[in-house]
């Protein structure tokens, strides 16, 4: 890997969904000053970069992913000055800010769309896709057709997501220029990188698919293959499913993206978005090893993550989030974050948050799940069954206010939060975690320190040792003669023996006994041990 991408292996990124992170002015909505207040907490954990979900002006149909002004801040989140203050406070602590760029669509309240819909011959008329008739049968991500008739223009426009999120027409060079200017504007404010929303969709082929269109890479290069953007860290939210597609996005020589999110392992533990499926950590191991190996062989920068704002916490689908919550949360962390790549930790993961459980639709907010609920009911599914599906799959699972402590509203806000808090907040809050002998936070902190102190975990070669028929994930990381062996046991107590397991134990999640004196090489459920060889 060349030096530029290799240097990104030092990043440890924390994703913040600020609406639910910390409310500084007690109106029930998390905000930018609320993020600034928690910077020392994040530094203490070992974080050196933040990916902030969209905080731009937005009418909020899709919680900020429907932007109406890319150069200003949503009132609920604070002011432009608050963002500048956040950046300067982050700089003082050596932290980098990664903003969330949404180039595929805007809000229907963006001035470009307001103008565009007025007529076929105004300066913005070709900023979006307009057709006299629906050009195909595509379905929108959030339900219904992607084509919406507009009374004023008397044409249909394309929206891959909600009706309120019209897709931008990247075939129009003016749109490309607008997006370049927005990127440059934020670079000038001191932003160090971008997470780019549904990037594969910006080029379409109307006869085939609304992603991977013929000009995709041209548009990505237009954004990021420029002098001004050459030092940015960029991570694309991608549908790229094959290694060739991935190479086309992030091969360093192409000057497109630094890395991307690859979502195979996030589909684990469920049949589909709304239906669970029992699967073991073995499948998770095989999936992540496959991608880890491919990225390594191709000299590409990988991203390591299990959670984000669009999914319930993976520990609830793939681990045991009841009696063995600490053990499975820490085991999955080691399976993920000691591998080679850039770690992304989603808020709440660092103290073992799980999925919530609610049995009334009024406890949900997200447009995707509300639309899905209505479709379930319309299709004849009972209310009980429908709400079970929503409670399992809703994106709100990752968007409940962070329970910091045992005070009013769990320390998130003095006011009623915008969405009901986590259903297990009495039990699962940071204060309780910190007091517990089994603190997920303290484990994460130790694990991240180990990663920071040893270059082998950042740049070292990854090698998988366990075989497909055992219940273990065993791998080594080595660099310039320095070597570590990582052992993760899956659900059941089991025995295993490997060369490398005689070293000093430098990380363990069962502190009840000295893991170096392990009897018969027996590992307890979800037990991990990291040996220094």
Task: Report which residue's Cβ sits closest to ligand GLC.
Answer: 65
- Beta-bridge partners for 472: 489
CA-based R_g, the chain, Å: 23
To which residue do tokens 């249909």 refer? 156
Q: Which of 197, 321, 368, 491 is catalytic?
A: 197
Phi/psi at 106 (nearest 5 deg)? -120, -175
The residue among 18 and 477 lying less far from Ca ion, judged by its C-beta, is: 18
Which CB atom, from 68 or from 476, has the smaller least distance to ligand GLC? 68
Contact status: 200 vs ligand GLC (CB under 6 A): no
- Which residues have C-beta within 8 Å of that of residue 354, sequence separation ≥ 6? 313, 315, 316, 321, 325, 424, 428
Considering only residues 14, 31, 97, 107, which one is a binding residue for Ca ion as defined by CB under 5 A?
A: 31
Spell out the alpha helix ranges (H) of 251-382. 281-297, 314-318, 325-337, 367-378
The first and second tokens of residue 97, run together, are: 């800010």
Residue from 10, 27, 178, 482 touching Ca ion (CB under 5 A): that is 27
Cβ count near 63 (within 10 Å): 21
CB 434 within 8 A of CB 45: no
Alpha helices in 351-413 (DSSP H): 367-378, 383-393
Q: Minimum distance from CB of 312 to ligand GLC (Å)?
A: 14
CA–CA separation, 465 and 477 (whole Å): 11
Contact 466, 327 (CB under 8 A): no
What are residue 18's DSSP bridge partners? none
Q: Which residues contact 39 (CB under 8 A, 6 or more apart)?
A: 89, 90, 93, 95
Min dist CB 30 to Ca ion, Å, is 6
Residues 74-103 binding Ca ion (CB under 5 A) are none
Smaller CB distance to Ca ion: residue 34 or 352? 34
Written as six digits, the tokens of 31 are 């905000």
Cβ density class 373-392: b for 16+ within 10 Å, e for less: beebeeeeeeeeebbbbbbb
| Residue 31 binding: pick among ligand GLC, Ca ion, none (C-beta 5-8 Å cut-off by kind) | Ca ion
Tell me: does residue 198 bind ligand GLC (CB under 6 A).
yes
Q: According to the 3-state scheme, what is the secondary structure of 39-72?
A: HHHHHHHCCCEEEECCCEECCCCCCCCCCCEEEE
Task: From the list ligand GLC, Ca ion, none, pick the one residue 23 interacts with, judged by a Cβ distance below 5 to 8 Å according to partner type.
Answer: Ca ion
Q: Which of residues 157-176 bind ligand GLC (CB under 6 A)?
A: 161
- Greatest Cα pair distance, the chain, in angstroms, is 79
Nearer CB in complex with ligand GLC: 237/433: 237
Query: Does the annotation mark 181 as catalytic?
Result: no
Compute the least distance from the CB of residue 409 to Ca ion, in Å: 12
Q: How many residues bind ligand GLC (CB under 6 A)?
A: 9
End-to-end CA separation in angstroms for the chain: 25
Q: Which stretch binds Ca ion (CB under 5 A): 22-30, 55-63, 324-332, 360-368?
A: 22-30
Q: x/- string (CB under 6 A) for ligand GLC, residues 89-108? A: -------------x------
Q: Is 37 in the site for Ca ion (CB under 5 A)?
A: no
The encoded tokens of residue 243 equal: 């290694």
Q: Is 327 in the site for ligand GLC (CB under 6 A)?
A: no
CB of 25 to Ca ion, least distance (A): 5
Q: How many residues bind Ca ion (CB under 5 A)?
A: 5
Question: Which does residue 27 touch among Ca ion, ligand GLC, none (CB within 5 to 8 A, set by kind)?
Answer: Ca ion
Burial of 393 (0-12, 13-18, 19+ CB in 10 A): buried
Find tokens 């970069």 and name the residue.
Answer: 49
The CB-of-410 to Ca ion minimum distance in angstroms stands at 15
17 binds ligand GLC (CB under 6 A): no
State the binding string over 38-67 for ligand GLC (x if CB under 6 A, else -): ------------------------x--x--
Q: Between residues 310 and 433, which has the closer beta carbon with respect to ligand GLC?
A: 310
Q: Show the binding pattern over residues 228-267: x = contacts ligand GLC (CB under 6 A), - = does not.
A: ---------x------------------------------
- Known catalytic residue: 197? yes
**237, 350, 396, 491: which one is catalytic?**
237
* Strand pairing category for 96-101 and 49-52: parallel
Which of the choices ligand GLC, Ca ion, none does residue 327 contact, using the CB cut-off of 5 to 8 A by kind?
none
The span from the CA of 368 to the CA of 167, in Å, is: 17
Binding site for Ca ion (CB under 5 A): 23, 25, 27, 29, 31
* Residues recognised as catalytic: 197, 237
Residues engaged in binding ligand GLC (CB under 6 A): 62, 65, 102, 161, 197-198, 237, 309-310
């Amino acid at each position: 890997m060349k030096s530029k991408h290799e240097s990104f292996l030092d990043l440890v990124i924390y994703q913040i969904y600020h609406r639910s992170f910390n409310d500084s002015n007690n109106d029930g909505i998390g905000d930018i000053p609320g993020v600034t207040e928690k910077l020392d907490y994040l530094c203490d954990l070992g974080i050196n970069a933040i990916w902030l979900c969209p905080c731009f002006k937005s009418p909020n149909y899709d919680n900020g992913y429907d932007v109406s002004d890319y150069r200003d801040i949503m009132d609920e989140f604070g002011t432009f000055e608050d963002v500048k203050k956040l950046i300067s406070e982050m700089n003082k602590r050596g932290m980098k800010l990664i903003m969330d760029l949404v180039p595929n669509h805007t809000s229907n309240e963006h001035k470009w769309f307001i103008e565009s819909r007025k007529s076929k011959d105004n300066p913005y008329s070709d900023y979006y896709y307009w057709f006299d008739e629906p050009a195909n049968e595509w379905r929108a991500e959030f339900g219904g057709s992607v084509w919406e008739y507009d009374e004023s223009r008397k044409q249909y426009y394309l929206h891959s997501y909600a009706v309120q999120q019209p897709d931008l027409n990247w075939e129009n060079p003016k749109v490309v220029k607008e997006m370049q200017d927005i990127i440059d504007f934020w670079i000038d404010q001191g932003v160090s990188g971008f997470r780019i929303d549904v990037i594969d969709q910006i080029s379409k082929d109307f006869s085939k698919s609304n992603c991977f269109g013929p000009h995709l890479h041209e548009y990505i290069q237009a954004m990021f293959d420029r002098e001004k953007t050459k030092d940015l860290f960029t991570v694309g939210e991608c549908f790229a499913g094959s290694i060739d597609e991935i190479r086309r996005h992030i091969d360093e020589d192409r000057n497109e993206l630094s890395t991307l999110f690859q979502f195979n392992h996030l589909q684990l533990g469920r049949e589909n978005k709304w239906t669970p499926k029992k699967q073991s950590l073995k499948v998770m191991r095989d999936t992540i090893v496959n991608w880890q190996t491919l990225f390594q062989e191709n000299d590409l920068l990988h991203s390591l993550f299990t959670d984000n704002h669009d999914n319930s916490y993976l520990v609830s689908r793939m681990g045991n989030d009841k009696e063995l919550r600490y053990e499975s949360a820490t085991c999955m962390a080691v399976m993920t974050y000691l591998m080679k790549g850039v770690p992304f930790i989603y808020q709440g993961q660092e103290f073992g948050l799980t999925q919530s459980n609610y049995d009334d639709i009024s406890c949900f907010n997200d447009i995707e799940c509300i639309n899905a609920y209505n479709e379930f009911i319309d299709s004849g599914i009972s209310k009980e069954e429908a709400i079970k599906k929503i409670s399992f799959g809703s994106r709100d699972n990752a968007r409940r206010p962070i329970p910091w402590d045992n005070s009013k509203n769990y320390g998130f806000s003095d006011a009623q939060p915008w969405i009901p808090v986590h259903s297990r907040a009495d039990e699962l809050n940071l204060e309780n975690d910190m007091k517990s002998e089994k603190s997920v936070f303290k484990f994460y902190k130790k694990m991240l320190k180990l990663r920071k102190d040893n270059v082998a975990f950042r740049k070292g070669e990854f090698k998988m040792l366990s075989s497909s028929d055992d219940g273990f994930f065993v791998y080594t990381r080595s660099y310039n003669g320095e070597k570590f062996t990582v052992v993760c046991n899956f659900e059941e107590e089991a025995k295993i023996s490997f060369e490398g397991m005689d070293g000093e134990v430098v990380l363990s999640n069962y502190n009840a006994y000295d893991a170096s004196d392990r009897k018969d090489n027996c590992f307890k459920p979800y037990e991990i041990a990291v040996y220094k060889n």
